[in-house]
Structure 1
Amino acid sequence: MTASALDEPRRGPLRRPSRPRRSRPLVVQNLFLGLLTLAFLAPVAWALVSAFKPAADIIRDPLGFDPSQFTLDNFEGMFADVPIGAGFLNTAIVLVLKGGITLFFAPLAGYAFAKYDFRGKNVIFGAVLVTLMLPTIVLIIPLLLEMKQLGWVNTYQALILPGSVDAFAIFWMRQVISAVPDELLDAARMDGCGEFGIFWRVVVPVIRPGLAGLAVLTIMNIYNDFVWPVVVASSSTMSTLQVVLSTLAQNITGNKIGADYATVTGELLAASSLALVPLLILFIVLQKHFINGILAGSVKG
């Protein structure tokens, strides 16, 4: 036996390479996801279809649909009995202005917490996070008293300004901006770019997925907000869409003496379907950005 052979380490018995674990069949996964999707979409589909049925048929045959009985009577009656157009207009105004404030100032605050060092930074950020634990109901009375002192009850200011830059939006953007490399910011400073220019020209293009995800969440929260608008905007001319929908049954019965249950149900479904369409379109169009934004917001800072 040669010396080179003695120097070689002993090798154990050869083992067969382990086979990769079998994952759950793709067909079973798709079937499960399909059933789950069907369970979630079934009530939505039923509401949309029933809105075009005669009111009596909704009660008599809830699960049936005869295309020959297709009608717009529920929508015509709803527009005549309910100021839903004013609700859409008020919601659109609040959505544009309040959403714009959130998407402008929340990234700025998140940028300051993520990329700057200043005295009391952690204390201030901790105080911001503590506000996430406060229930909305706790803040309603103090905010309402403040709005009364300012003379803002039943105004757009009261609907827009309170909560326009919330703690969640700041925390979200802080987590997203923390993932931006500091080298990009230093390179921009070396080129003579100002601090706001760095934010606008360097940071914003990088955080677009996270910003898009925040935009979707902000739009959905403002669109579905009910508690604060119903407290601060008691006037029918300032009611948002959700407040209009909450008082829809009373408005129908008040405008139609002797309106039966079927008529109220049909117009309720028509109004709810109409209110649901913008959110469905928004999510379908922006679902890719929403998913990317969720992933971007999950980056640990």
Structure 2
Amino acid sequence: MRNRAVAAHLFLGAVLLLSLAPVVWAVVSAFKPAAEIVADPLGLDPATLTLENYRRVFDDVPLLSGFLNTAVVLVSKGTLTLLLAPLAAFGFAKYRFPGRGLLFGTVLVTLMLPTIVLIIPLLLQMKELGWVNTYQALILPGAVDAFAIFWMRQVIAEIPDELLDAARIDGCGEFGIFARVIMPLIRPALAGLGVLTVMNIYNDFVWPVVVANSERMATLQVVLSTLAQNITGNRIGADYATVTGELLAATSIALLPLVAVFVALQRHFVSGILAGSVKG
């Protein structure tokens, strides 16, 4: 048994190293001179390490603007998701009303629709509303997705009805029950949903590049996608090595917020993933 556990840990360690190797290489290479990255990709001379790639990338591309737009969308859209999805799930899990099954089934059906199918109708709606190249278009569509409602519904369904009845007997209203009973009990699952929501919004590219095509409204992922073009456009004679060095620097910077969020919420994320997965 012990040998099997050791073998399992060695295997998982090897998988971890293989998974992290490209990320570590990218972060380390971002500190190397641009010419050295291309000439000797796997080599490392500590004496030549420099911050030049980071300095240049801030001069050549609007990274700060991309971070700001992403932060606005992330906070606004994430707040809506983490508030409205549990509220909708509470209704589906704990109330009986005509058409509940049909309505919840319709929500689940939207999970099967590819994102690309919804882009054109949503874009036409944004155009009619005059929201193209605005924060409203980046925030409101998809603020409450079907997966979030489904997950929260499964978690809330596990909460005993007796707790809710006891709160009603004590004079607590329905919104009071949601705020004072439901929300504290689903906190681990909500933290897990929060991590996934942050990752999805932060990494979203297709919708922002369609609905916010101006540089002023570009999110971080859109800025990164046009990074090579911006570098060569802003600097005459920029070569492949220069573009590679600045691209590695930019992506290393973009990794930091996600790593920080995951490290801060790792324990809650793991327990949240498991919440509602076992029928008690």
* Band of TM-score, shorter chain: over 0.9
Counterpart position of 2:32 = 53
- Give 4+ residue runs of structure 1 displaced > 4 Å after superposition: none
Unmatched segments (≥5 aa) in structure 2: none
CA radius of gyration, larger in: 1
> 1:298: how far off?
2.1
d(CA) in 2 for partners of 1:264, 1:203: 50
Report SS of the residue matched to 1:25.
helix
Range 239-248 or range 65-74, more displaced: 65-74
What is the TM-score with the length of structure 2 in the denominator?
Answer: 0.98
Task: Report the residue type matching 2:255 in the other structure.
Answer: L
Counterpart position of 2:111 = 132
Counterpart of 1:118 (choices 97, 100, 109) is 97
1:273 matched to 2:234: no
1:206 matched to 2:171: no
> 1:24: how far off?
5.3
Counterpart position of 1:74 = 53
Task: Work out whether residues 175 and 300 of structure 1, in 8 Å CA contact, stay in contact via their aligned partners in 2.
Answer: no
d(CA) in 2 for partners of 1:210, 1:235: 37
Taking every aligned residue pair, what percent have the same amino acid on both sides? 73
> 1:150: how far off?
0.3
Counterpart position of 2:17 = 38
Counterpart of 1:240 (choices 202, 213, 219) is 219
1:143 matched to 2:151: no
Task: Report the residue type matching 1:177 in the other structure.
Answer: I
> 1:65: how far off?
1.2
d(CA) in 1 for partners of 2:176, 2:55: 52
Report SS of the residue matched to 2:217.
coil
Count of matched residue pairs = 280
d(CA) in 1 for partners of 2:36, 2:192: 41
Task: Report the residue type matching 2:234 in the other structure.
Answer: N
User: Relative to structure 1, is the Cα distance of residues 132 and 300 closer, same or farther in structure 2, using a 3 angstrom cutoff?
Assistant: farther
Range 279-288 or range 212-221, more displaced: 279-288
Report SS of the residue matched to 1:237.
helix
Higher share of residues assigned helix? 2
Task: Work out whether residues 155 and 186 of structure 2, in 8 Å CA contact, stay in contact via their aligned partners in 1.
Answer: yes
d(CA) in 2 for partners of 1:133, 1:198: 32
What is the TM-score with the length of structure 1 in the denominator?
Answer: 0.91
Task: Report the residue type matching 1:56 in the other structure.
Answer: A
d(CA) in 1 for partners of 2:87, 2:7: 46
Counterpart position of 1:176 = 155
